[in-house]
Structure 1
């Protein structure tokens, strides 16, 4: 591949679409992003407008392609990353009759609770690798079947947001193995839709997209869209994979014991294995990267969203000051000792996924005294997110993963303090790749492999430049070792109270 041949990666995220162009060495040639809102008309709902996301994809692609061509680059392929677990109902004309229902939507909590502890639910988890939780499209379909029969009966297709984009672009319904394996409807062993899961949801295979490999190439872009973006109709598009597994690829976390951690709005901990692997306790997911590589790990609901809550609800006065509010928050947190002088925060502001998988959990400050002030609360929130991330690491260790390094991406990497807190809680070195666009790069690398530009992913680790490394500090490590078991015990002990409080809150808001 010559110097100016460029591969573009598009990452359709929860709060924005990011598009980046890369050369053969993984260097960013151009990038663009476009934000869009998350709609929550009812407290349990978390939806997005499909047209807003479609326009964001077209806009960012157009901007990146224009920058590439202006600078004598040549786009040779486009590949896609996407958030998992979205669900859209289409009518017989292929038009959406729902918004895109995101992973954060909790309308199907009761369906998940009922299924989770049954033999049927446990069997579905073992075969599909998707934990039984309201995020799961399977459980969302069960909700529609029981609670919105009008939509359920009108829907001729049930698809995710990336499938919708490809349908608009090419007029075909295809889904990569990676996104499919996050639906709760896809059998990891057979790489096909799971008949028992489909029966439970009450749908037919014909109502779903055709599963294809993550390196699947499609051509024949709609001519009007091709003209709008500024690319030829026969440009190769790679279907790509989910943002989670592609973040591992994009940061070079492919070797045994190399773990990728990302914290954006939410967070996740993931590592690559060579065969489908599930957790006997049902705490971890298992999703496809390729036909021969799988990613096992766990997501947390509350990452950057918890820090944003601190900014907006505890420190609204910072909005009136000049400078970045997050820099001010971090500076105040830095004034407080590790452990926040014994103040803990359970960061369950939007329920929790791994390793608890309990949508009823709530945020909790534990240990408040007269000596604590707002600075302690900031520090406790930052530490609470990391304690929760480490709980996922502990679950991975229980199933045989032996982490030796952690490679990190996401918005939290902008904060040296937060990265150091991670090193001290994880008790391992934290490696920060120089490029922040892990999922975009991962998508681009899939396209490079699909088109024969690279033979395999063995050289990816060398392509990923490490910008910074944080080493654990003994004094902080000793403090966190005392606090970690208290943190883990709290969530378990409060489980029945979380449930009772959820019922009260539900009654208040309805």
Structure 2
């Protein structure tokens, strides 16, 4: 029996799943690692901890699945986007891994937008990557100024998957999907972009070799083949970014279908047949399958992390009492007792700055419309609605670029909440469908492996494996309330743009971190 291993390398953990030949889950495990954020705007990880998590995950699922490791047909990857690290000529790390959440290049970005908006727009048009500190192009520019000795010593600039594959195989290689999120890949010719390279001051020889998401690499180093129990010729399929594969894994593979994912962060995406650029720079566009499929969408900083803040900061008294209840369920229950619209209370969910659609690392959160009648119940409802309002505003930007979008597929931890799914249906005024398959990233990675091996023709193969789908129909009674509040939400966000800058500067100056 052939088996497949899907490895999902996320921001705070790596999930590893073992699948049988019919793409049924046989074993799974999750390995966690810390996010280092002891300095303002810093969000780093230790690359070797992630590498060890990948090794541990593969060994664990093979052991728990009780299968012959020699029967593994392929290992395939889903991986976090926008990561960056410097390595020397031998592949030794010169820095930690800077994640998408690292905002220390914010001044680089704001200065570029202010001093050379034409170049900022040209870089976006050429690469499809919005002008924001998440992108490695701006992180690298910041490192060049902040740590010139590291910039000079660096032989290569890579992301976490490239580092892992180099450790395992001794070759610097990357797929187009992940590489496109760096800000260095030209969207049209799918090669490293000379204008982006020249602006930062590096050469294409310092970046990995480019290849397709369905290509594979073999020749696992003997020490790792022995440790993992795998044949050295087991193909490791490049796979793609976690964002793109989240779409594939729920069957959202046509341009009339959106995939919405809310975990710690959030995202909304659609797969299209040709590259699309937003004249206002509000959404990204990356290749998934070269010359066949592109992905357009917006990543959102403030997803489930806001719900966690609500639990830990606003309801900290309940947390300290250590009650024998699930506080997330309790908070959802409170929100369910409040009518749609939270009795006129709006929450701007920008606690972590924001990417799409406003692309402002200085954005900050606030309650708007707060009066003496509001309690923690309304605040809870407003927080949950605010997250969905923000996602909806990204959808409005996408619709201007792609046209009508008829279907919404929901995934991520929030999709387990009936209240959140119903809120989304009511705010979007559309059916929201939740597939049974929650591990969409590794499922999609395995589908790419099957395509690579010639066992599947194209991405539509995934629809055989996503299981049953639950549909949430919108409630028309909620439409008028949400339409009014959505207009206010967008207006307040726009009007606070300059004040976001001022308050974030104040916080950096005086906050005791």
Same fold (TM over 0.5): yes
Q: Which runs of 5+ in 1 are unaligned?
A: none
Q: Which residue of 2 aligns with 1:156?
A: 155
Mapped contact 2:255–2:402 kept (Cα < 8 A): no
Q: Which residue of 2 aligns with 1:427?
A: 429
SS of the aligned residue for 2:66 comes to helix
Runs of 4+ in 1 over 4 A off after TM superposition: 70-73
SS of the aligned residue for 1:377 comes to helix
| TM-score w.r.t. length of structure 2 | 0.96
Structure 2 CA distance for aligned equivalents of residues 183 and 498 of structure 1: 26
SS of the aligned residue for 1:399 comes to helix
1:303-314 to 2 correspondences below 5 Å: 303-314=303-314
Q: Which residue of 2 aligns with 1:80?
A: 77
SS of the aligned residue for 1:299 comes to strand
Mapped contact 2:302–2:351 kept (Cα < 8 A): yes
Q: Does 1:382 align with 2:384?
A: yes
Provide closer, same or farther for how the CA distance between residues 157 and 258 of structure 1 changes in structure 2, counting only shifts above 3 A. Answer: same
**Residues 406-429 of structure 1 deviation map (CA, whole Å, 9 limit, x = unaligned):** 111111112111111111111111
Mapped contact 1:79–1:240 kept (Cα < 8 A): yes
Q: Which residue of 1 aligns with 2:242?
A: 243
Aligned residues: 507
Shift of 1:210: 0.7
Q: Which residue of 2 aligns with 1:65?
A: 62
SS of the aligned residue for 1:436 comes to coil
Q: Which residue of 2 aligns with 1:139?
A: 138
SS of the aligned residue for 2:395 comes to helix
Q: Which residue of 2 aligns with 1:114?
A: 111
SS of the aligned residue for 2:289 comes to coil
The range that moved more, 303-312 or 90-99, is: 90-99
Structure 2 CA distance for aligned equivalents of residues 238 and 181 of structure 1: 18
Mapped contact 2:157–2:206 kept (Cα < 8 A): yes
**Residues 118-155 of structure 1 deviation map (CA, whole Å, 9 limit, x = unaligned):** 21121111111111110010011111122211111111
Structure 2 CA distance for aligned equivalents of residues 25 and 428 of structure 1: 33
**Residues 296-334 of structure 1 deviation map (CA, whole Å, 9 limit, x = unaligned):** 011111001111111111112333112322111111111
Q: Which residue of 2 aligns with 1:317?
A: 317
1:197-208 to 2 correspondences below 5 Å: 197-208=196-207
Structure 1 CA distance for aligned equivalents of residues 431 and 167 of structure 2: 44
Q: Which runs of 5+ in 2 are unaligned?
A: none
Structure 2 CA distance for aligned equivalents of residues 202 and 121 of structure 1: 16
SS of the aligned residue for 2:402 comes to coil
Structure 2 CA distance for aligned equivalents of residues 10 and 224 of structure 1: 20
Mapped contact 1:253–1:461 kept (Cα < 8 A): no
SS of the aligned residue for 2:40 comes to coil
Shift of 1:32: 1.1
Mapped contact 2:86–2:93 kept (Cα < 8 A): yes
**Residues 95-139 of structure 1 deviation map (CA, whole Å, 9 limit, x = unaligned):** 111111011111001111122352112111111111111001001
Structure 2 CA distance for aligned equivalents of residues 362 and 119 of structure 1: 27
Q: Which residue of 2 aligns with 1:17?
A: 14
Structure 1 CA distance for aligned equivalents of residues 254 and 207 of structure 2: 34
Shift of 1:211: 0.9
Mapped contact 2:69–2:230 kept (Cα < 8 A): no
Q: Which residue of 2 aligns with 1:439?
A: 441
Mapped contact 1:345–1:366 kept (Cα < 8 A): yes
SS of the aligned residue for 1:220 comes to coil
SS of the aligned residue for 2:27 comes to strand
**Residues 333-370 of structure 1 deviation map (CA, whole Å, 9 limit, x = unaligned):** 11111111111101000100111001110011111111
Q: Which residue of 2 aligns with 1:217?
A: 216
1:178-193 to 2 correspondences below 5 Å: 178-193=177-192
Structure 2 CA distance for aligned equivalents of residues 476 and 24 of structure 1: 45
Shift of 1:507: 1.1
Q: Which residue of 2 aligns with 1:342?
A: 344
Q: Which residue of 2 aligns with 1:395?
A: 397
Mapped contact 1:9–1:21 kept (Cα < 8 A): yes
Shift of 1:67: 2.5
Structure 1 CA distance for aligned equivalents of residues 19 and 483 of structure 2: 41
Mapped contact 1:65–1:75 kept (Cα < 8 A): no
SS of the aligned residue for 2:354 comes to coil
Structure 1 CA distance for aligned equivalents of residues 88 and 185 of structure 2: 23
Shift of 1:466: 3.2
Q: Which residue of 2 aligns with 1:410?
A: 412
Q: Which residue of 2 aligns with 1:257?
A: 256
Mapped contact 2:70–2:230 kept (Cα < 8 A): no
Q: Which residue of 2 aligns with 1:495?
A: 497
Q: Which residue of 2 aligns with 1:233?
A: 232
Structure 2 CA distance for aligned equivalents of residues 268 and 240 of structure 1: 19
Structure 2 CA distance for aligned equivalents of residues 26 and 262 of structure 1: 22
Structure 2 CA distance for aligned equivalents of residues 451 and 22 of structure 1: 15
Shift of 1:478: 2.4
Q: Does 1:103 align with 2:100?
A: yes
SS of the aligned residue for 1:95 comes to coil
Mapped contact 1:66–1:230 kept (Cα < 8 A): no
Shift of 1:207: 1.1
Q: Which residue of 2 aligns with 1:51?
A: 48
Mapped contact 1:259–1:405 kept (Cα < 8 A): yes
Q: Which residue of 1 aligns with 2:175?
A: 176
CA-based RMSD of the aligned residues comes to 1.5
Shift of 1:276: 1.2
Structure 2 CA distance for aligned equivalents of residues 16 and 322 of structure 1: 27
SS of the aligned residue for 1:361 comes to coil
Q: Which residue of 1 aligns with 2:267?
A: 268
Q: Which residue of 2 aligns with 1:450?
A: 452
Structure 2 CA distance for aligned equivalents of residues 35 and 489 of structure 1: 40
